[in-house]
Amino acid sequence: MFFAGLFAMYFTLRSTSGEMWAEETAKLNFPFALVNTIVLVASSFTCQMGVFAAERLEPRRRGGVFQLTRWGMNEWFILTFLMGGFFVAGQTTEYAMLVSEHVSLSSNAYGSAFYITTGFHGLHVIGGLIAFLFIIGRAYAAKKFGHFEATSAIVTSYYWHFVDVVWIGLFLVIYVLK
């Protein structure tokens, strides 16, 4: 519901500020945002591979580092964490680029809508990254990796997939529809 409200705010402000919206969206770096989006969406796949390993009760790899088919939950979740970190770093870089173009939270309605929607999404991504650290840490600390640890990994993946789906919607609205 929270993100539905943010989408409603974005569309309402957009409908009342057509010319300004066209000027401000021209400052967006679509190729940069597309690469960032692809990395985040790909992280859902790596996350799901970690879930499959957790369901098999395999917290750690059973082979070499480059034998992806033998990776455990931790390896997949660490890769997912790194991809999520890449996304957050990309968003931070994009914010810096937009600020240099004089688009800020307080510059106008577009800046407010852009930073509020993407910023709250970014906070949710950071929350997911923290959850991955807890799940990875719990897997290392557990004397025996069991269904409790696997269930925690699965629940964390639900949250991560939700965050990814929300970003796909935001990406389409902000970068594609402009």
**15 within a domain of the structure (yes/no):** no
**24 within a domain of the structure (yes/no):** no
Domain span holding position 135: 2-7+30-177
d(CA 26, CA 10): 17
- CB 54 within 8 Å of CB 153: yes
The number of distinct structural domains making up the chain is: 1
Q: Mean pLDDT throughout 67-91? A: 94
**70 within a domain of the structure (yes/no):** yes
**25 within a domain of the structure (yes/no):** no
Domain of 168: which CATH number? 1.20.120.80
**48 within a domain of the structure (yes/no):** yes
pLDDT on residue 121? 97
Confidence of residue 87 (pLDDT cuts 50, 70, 90): very high
Residue 39 identity (one-letter amino acid): V
**21 within a domain of the structure (yes/no):** no
* Angle (CA) 5 115 173, round 5°: 60
